Structure 1
Amino acid sequence: APAAGRGWLVASLAVAWAVLACVVVGAGLLLRRHRRASVTAGGEIQSLHAQLARSGAESAHLVNVTLPTVVKRLRDGASAEETLAATPPPSDPQLQRVLRMFADEVALGTRRAATAVADHETAVTRLGQIADDLDLLSTVTLPTALGGLREGRGADTVLADLKRPSDPRLRVLADAIVRDFAVSERRGSAAQAASAKALSRVQAKAVSMLADLREMQERHGEEVFGDLLKLDHNTSQLGLMTDRLALLMGGRASRAWNKPIPMESILRGAVGRIAAYQRVRLHCSSTASVAGFAAEGVMHLLAELMDNAANFSPPIDEVHVYVEERSAGIVVTIEDSGLKMADAAMRRAEESVSGRSNDLATLQGTRLGLAVVGRLAEKYHLSVNFRPSSRGGTGVVVLFPP
């Protein structure tokens, strides 16, 4: 450089080198700072990775181990506090909060489930008791109460000895039903007793009229004998109807005999009480007699069967009555020539004469005679059976015990 410019050049170079040195030093310092920051950031990243791994492990342990253990302990009956105290908590506060909330909710659900199970068991037990009470009410209580009321016992007496349900509402219902039944039975018994009493008076009047008519037949001549005989026969039919109603009402026959009555007289007395007496043919060679206490009942029974046979056979056909003596007793067979009874009608007739259907509420208006036959047969131990007749109609076989 020229001599004149060397000083300026040296100064410029010195300044330039000083600036360059400053730049190099600053760059080094800056690079060192960035290296330290990079190292710090790398450490933080590694720390975050480690923390994330720990959180993942704790979450997995919480889901796979801790929560099932908590659920099992809570279901075994432990409280939420006891379960959390015996369970190692996770280090993460958020997971600790999740664990706490989960334990509280599961404990609440477990308590609700236990309460629901207990309520269900209580309801099942209660329903079982109600079903048992209903069975007791329908199979024991009410039938026993009805039996006692029909025997004439009062409602209070029946209720005192009655086995009633344990449910208070069913007990009140049973008491109300029994008392209503008692009122109905009293009304029915009173009506039946009044009817029987009234019919007994009608029976007495009919017997008195028959006695008067027979006395008039003996006093008057032949010019009025036919009219008196007709009146006698009509009165006999009236006596048959009144006796029928009286027997159904629990009364007794209009007449009683104190000596045995021959079978021939029994048959003729029965024939004389029906409207179609002229169509009945008797075939009796027996010399047996019927005991006096049963004579009127047997006469009424045969009259009902003869009247039934005459009514259900053509008006021009005859009804034949046969009497046979057997070792088992006297057998009376009544045969008509009408239409054969259907199987259903035969079963109903057999049930009526069996004496099992004694309830007036179940009797049909056209079956009253057979119901009376059933009551008389049961009272005097007679056997009455229906069968097809050899004459084309229906036959009735009556067996009198010795």
Structure 2
Amino acid sequence: MRFRGKSIRRKIVALLLVPLVSLTGLWVFATVITGTEAARLLNAAEAIRTAGLPAEDLVRALQKERRQALVLLADPRRADNLAALRDQQATTDRAATAFRSGAAKVRDDMSPATDVRFRRIEKALGDLDGLRGKIRDDSISRHGAFQAYNDLVEPYYAFLGSLGAFEDAEMDKQARALIGVARAREALSREDALLAAALTAGTMSRQDLRAVSDRVAERQILYSTNLAVLPAADQKIFEEYWRGTAPHTLRAAEDTAILAGYARAPRTIDPQRWEKAAGVVLDELARMNTEATGRYADRVEPIATRVLTKAAVAGVLGAAALVASLVISLRIGRGLVRDLRQLRKEAHEVSGVRLPAVMRRLAAGEKVDLAAEAPLRDFGPDELGQVGKALNTLQRAAVEAAVKQADMRRGVADVFVNLARRSQVLLHRQLTLLDAMERRTEDTEELADLFRLDHLTTRMRRHAEGLVILSGAAPARQWRKPVRLMDVVRGAVAEVEDYERIEVRRLPRLAVRGPAVGDLTHLVAELLENATVFSPPHTAVQVHGQRVANGFTLEIHDRGLGMSPDALLEANLRLAETPEFELSDTDRLGLFVVSRLARRHDVKVTLQTSPYGGTTAVVFIPLDLLTEAGAGKGAGTGPGDEDTGEQFLARGRTTPPPRHEALSPAAGRPPAPARPAADDDVLCPFEPCADEGEEHHRAGGALVPLPRRRPSPQLPEGPGAERTPSGGLPRRVRQASLAPQLRKDPEAPRTRGGTTGTDPAGPEPERDADEVRARMAALQRGWQRGREHNEADAPRRSPRTAPRTTSEGDGR
């Protein structure tokens, strides 16, 4: 029987059930054995009365029939011998019928050996008629008939011996002694039959005399051997009888016949005197044997009663002991099960309730009282109590370890936040310095390098904010007023390394509420970063969105290798559940940051299989974070319901400038990263471009490294010129910042003296350095005036806040 995997209750029940079953089995066995013995004694007494006494009567009848048959065979001429034989045969038949009737009553209680002996007797009785027929026909000799009757009588003694076979040794000896006394009478009966036949015939053979002598000796030996075993009262009865007159006469006749010899014995003994002496002794011995058997049966009954009483007492005591053992075992087992259940309940409560609650509270930053969360429970001094105390120690150690781990995590998070804040301060200063350097420089190549450095610094700032988010703190970059959704997306594009691969399609004219601008920008930037990193460098990443019933969905498609179903499911679970950040989990930092930011503003982010073979990130922005574009500054006022990203350069302008004359930075430089302002119109990180009337940001051709310092190339001019070449960086467009009245015909070639020629195929002369410097200075002064105008309208800022940036402390 296997108990592995079973409950402790079943094991305890099995542990207690085995000795109980064994004890029950022993009790039942002892009770059955003792009761069976008592029942056998009682049944033996009844069997002796019911079957034993009729069997003795049948034996006496057969003995008399044997004597008469031998007498008839000795003198067949006498008619009275035949009549006497027939009368005796009828008596034998009646005794046989009585024996069968009595034996049938106790046959069910007979042992197998007794039943076998009874069947032999029945078979012998069935053969008695054949023997009688031979005797009537005088076809059998005296010796043959004598031996046949002896064979009929002998099984009865075996049958009587099996009826009195008991487990009690003393009673068994007495039963055997009674059978021996009965055999002694049988020896006398055989002696009587032999002498009666010899006296009737008038002759005796030497063999007959020897047989008579043997029967006399056999009788004496049987009496001397068996009378000593019988009780003293029975011994006295038999000894006193054999000292009487009738036995003395019998012994005298026996001595006379034996001493006379076989030739003179028939003439020496008178047949009538012998018959009388032998008949009296045989009858008296039969009476004494019957009385001794009755007294034996009377002695058996009290013994059987005592045995039965002992069996009853043993059974009752055994049952009481069994019940007591069962009750004690049940109480002990229930106590063990109760203690184990309590211990299991404590363990489950510790592992499933207390420790998780402590971990959640520690993760939430709450203080935990060690004595309240890990109370010391009182257990007993036994082994289970020791296990409970060990559980107390384990619980306290686990809570202490959790508190220490939480303190360590909190310390590590504080270190990360401190380092990130310091990095943010330095990066903020660096951006301020770069902004000032960009305003001062007049060299286009240096300006391009500064823009590149500005872009790297912006990315560094995003990584610093990611470190703050991983630490559980909120980033300092915040806005109070709505910002256009297009500007938020383009600000995210500007924070990605491979920004030139990203195509931003038309977006509705919606704005994002101020508190969610920074987090949503960071979230989209992380998704764009993943899309560009996990896709081939020659492919584009498309960004488009649309209104839905409960908000706005922004979709980011890449053309990478995609994700397996298991990895996609794991990533979506990570985005949905926002698990606790583990320091060892460094492969999915971007997804963890996205999950934290999405959970903060109830934004739903899911990853799907892209129709282009890669992965599509779907960002659902709820209505609570959105407003119409006109609700806040930075929202465009152009016609139509779609936002193409085009920004106007001056306020109060009734009509926007032509789409083909947008302002663009110097040739070869990257766009300045988008930093939406809280109070001024936000300049998009990419200048709007004209492409068949559709305004959106388009990725260039193959990704190439950023340009190094080199002589300025000749750029194409005109409204249809390409402003975002395959190199990926925007290029300046001639006369894009001039008023329409000051613009010259871009198709007319310029001569060295400043006049336009008529040859369109002629090369464009180089510009004068002073003229370029004057134009750039004028552009810079215009930017400065615009900033001063915006600062005059904006609330008072911190003294440390640089122009074109927001304070990280007050959220503006």
TM-score bracket for the superposition, by shorter chain length: 0.7 to 0.9
Instruction: Please say which of residues 211-220 and 111-120 is displaced more in the overlay.
Output: 111-120
2:312 is matched with which residue? 68
Residue 57 to residue 150, structure 1, CA distance change in 2 (3 Å): farther
Q: Cα distance, 1:48 vs. partner?
A: 8.6
- How far 1:208 moved relative to its partner? 1.9
**Secondary structure of residue in 2 paired with 1:341:** coil
RMSD, matched Cα: 3.1
Instruction: Provide closer, same or farther for how the CA distance between residues 74 and 377 of structure 1 changes in structure 2, counting only shifts above 3 A.
Output: same
Q: Write out aligned runs for 1:66-145 (5 A).
A: 66-72=310-316, 75-76=319-320, 115-145=328-358
Aligned mate of 2:449, from 201, 218, 227: 227
Q: Whose helix fraction is larger, Structure 1's or Structure 2's?
A: 1
Question: Which residue in the other structure is 1:293 paired with?
Answer: 515
**Which among 600, 606, 609 is matched to residue 379 of structure 1?**
600
Larger CA Rg, structure 1 vs 2? 2
Offset of 1:111 from its aligned partner?
5.9
2:502 corresponds to which of 280, 284, 290: 280
State the match for 2:155 in structure 1.
none
CA separation of 1:214 and 1:366: change in aligned 2, threshold 3 A: same
Which residue of structure 1 lines up, in the alignment, with residue 240 of structure 2?
A: 36
Contact kept in structure 2, 1:383 and 1:400, CA below 8 Å: yes
- How far apart, in 1, do the equivalents of 2:471 and 2:373 lie? 29
Residue matched to 2:408: 187
Comparing 222-231 and 174-183, the one that deviates more? 174-183
| Aligned positions, number | 335
Taking a change above 3 Å as real, the CA distance of residues 147 and 353 of structure 1, as seen in their structure-2 partners, is closer
How far, CA to CA, are the matches of 1:270 and 1:227 in structure 2? 21
CA distance 1:66–1:301, shift in 2 (3 Å): same
Provide the secondary structure at the position in 2 that maps to 1:139: helix
SS, match of residue 152 in structure 1:
coil
Q: Partner letter of residue 330 of structure 1?
A: F
Superposed, which structure 2 residues align to 1:195-234 within 5 Å? 195-221=416-442, 222-234=444-456
User: Partner of 2:547: helix, strand, or coil?
Assistant: strand
- The offset of 1:65, in angstroms, is 4.2
Could you tell me whether the CA contact under 8 Å between 1:134 and 1:165 is conserved in 2? no
- Structure 1 residue 359 and structure 2 residue 580: aligned? yes
175-184 vs 288-297, greater mean Cα deviation = 175-184
Q: CA deviation at 1:211?
A: 2.1
Corresponding residue to 1:304 among 512, 520, 526: 526
**In the aligned structure 1, how far is the partner of 2:401 from the partner of 2:587?**
30
How far is the alpha carbon of 1:318 from its aligned partner? 0.4
Residue 255 of structure 1, aligned match among 473, 477, 486: 477
Q: CA-to-partner distance for each residue in 1:162-220, whole Å, 9 max, x for gaps?
A: 78866451333322321221121111111111211111111221122122212211111
CA shift, 1:54, in A, is: 5.4
Q: Report SS of the residue matched to 2:497.
A: coil
Unmatched 5+ stretches in structure 2: 1-237, 245-284, 380-387, 624-812
Q: 2:541 aligns with which of 319, 326, 335?
A: 319
Q: Is 1:271–2:493 an aligned residue pair?
A: yes
User: What is the Cα deviation at residue 137 of structure 1?
Assistant: 2.4
Residue 266 of structure 1: how far off its partner (Å): 1.0
Q: Does 1:400 align with 2:621?
A: yes
How far does residue 112 in structure 1 lie from its aligned partner after superposition?
5.9
Give the partner amino acid of 1:340. G
CA apart distance, 1:240 = 1.7
Contact 2:581 2:592 in 1 (8 A): no
Instruction: Report the counterpart of residue 8 of structure 1 in structure 2.
Output: none
Unpaired runs of 5+ residues, structure 1, are 1-33, 77-106
Match of 2:301 in 1: 57
- Three-state SS of the structure 2 residue aligned to 1:184 is helix
Query: Compared with structure 1, are the counterparts of its residues 51 and 241 closer, same or farther at alpha carbon in structure 2 (3 Å cutoff)?
Result: farther
Q: Judging changes above 3 Å, is the alpha-carbon distance between structure 1 residues 110 and 323 closer, same or farther for their aligned structure 2 residues?
A: closer
Alignment partner of 1:160 out of 366, 369, 372: 372
SS in 2 for 1:72: helix
Contact 1:137 1:164 in 2 (8 A): no
Identify the structure with bigger relative contact order (alpha carbons < 8 Å, sequence gap 6+): 2
Aligned to 2:486, the other structure's residue is in SS state: helix
Query: Quick check: 1:353–1:373 contact (8 Å CA) kept in 2?
Result: yes
Q: CA deviation at 1:38?
A: 3.9
Does residue 1:348 correspond to 2:570, yes or no? Answer: yes
SS at match of 1:314: coil
Does the CA-based 8 Å contact 1:270-1:299 persist in structure 2?
yes
Which deviates more from structure 2 when the two are superposed, residues 55-64 or residues 300-309?
55-64
Tell me which amino acid in the other structure corresponds to 1:335. Answer: H
Question: What is the match of residue 7 of structure 1?
Answer: none
Superposition TM-score, scaled by structure 2 size: 0.38
When residues 325 and 307 of structure 1 are mapped into structure 2, their CA distance, relative to the original with a 3 A threshold, is: same
SS in 2 for 1:252: coil
Partner Cα separation in structure 2 for residue 314 and residue 223 of structure 1: 29
Q: How far does the alpha carbon of each residue in 1:65-87 deviate from its partner, in whole angstroms, 9 at most, with x for none? A: 442244325644xxxxxxxxxxx
How far is 1:304 from its partner?
0.5
How many angstroms does 1:325 deviate by? 3.0
SS for the counterpart of 1:334 is strand
Q: Structure 1: which amino acid aligns with 2:304?
A: A
Question: Which deviates further from its counterpart, 369-378 or 243-252?
Answer: 243-252
Distance 1:361 1:201 in 2: 23
Q: Provide the C-alpha distance between the structure 2 equivalents of 1:112 and 1:390, rounded to a whole number of angstroms.
A: 77
Partners of 1:340 and 1:388 within 8 A in 2: yes
Deviations 1:206-253 (A, max 9, x none): 122122212211111223111111111111121121111210111222
CA displacement, residues 280-312 of structure 1 (integer Å, 9 cap, x when unaligned): 111134221111211111100000011111111
Cα shift at 1:55:
5.6
The TM-score, its normalising length taken from structure 1, stands at: 0.74
Code of the aligned partner of 2:426: K
- The whole-number CA distance in structure 1 between the counterparts of 2:371 and 2:531 is 48
Q: 1:96-139, CA deviations, whole angstroms, 9 ceiling, x for partnerless residues?
A: xxxxxxxxxxx6x8766654444333223322322222222222
Cα deviation digits, residues 27-65 of structure 1 (max 9, x gap)? xxxxxxx9637469x999999977865564344334434
Q: 127, 149, 154: which is aligned to 2:362? A: 149
1:368 aligns with 2:589: yes
Distance (whole Å) between structure 1 residues aligned to residue 469 and residue 364 of structure 2: 18
Amino acid corresponding to residue 148 of structure 1 in structure 2: R
Counterpart AA for 1:231: L
Q: Secondary structure at 1:361's aligned position in 2?
A: coil
Matched residues in 1 for 2:586 and 2:349: separation?
A: 36
Whether the aligned pair in 1 keeps the contact of 2:602 and 2:622 (CA below 8 Å) is yes
Letter paired with 2:240 = R
Distance 1:317 1:50 in 2: 123
Secondary structure of the 1:216 match is helix
Contact map agreement 1:145 1:159 (CA 8 A) in 2: no
Taking a change above 3 Å as real, the CA distance of residues 209 and 397 of structure 1, as seen in their structure-2 partners, is: same
Secondary structure in structure 1 of the residue aligned to 2:616: strand
Structure 1 contact 199–242 (Cα < 8 Å) conserved: yes
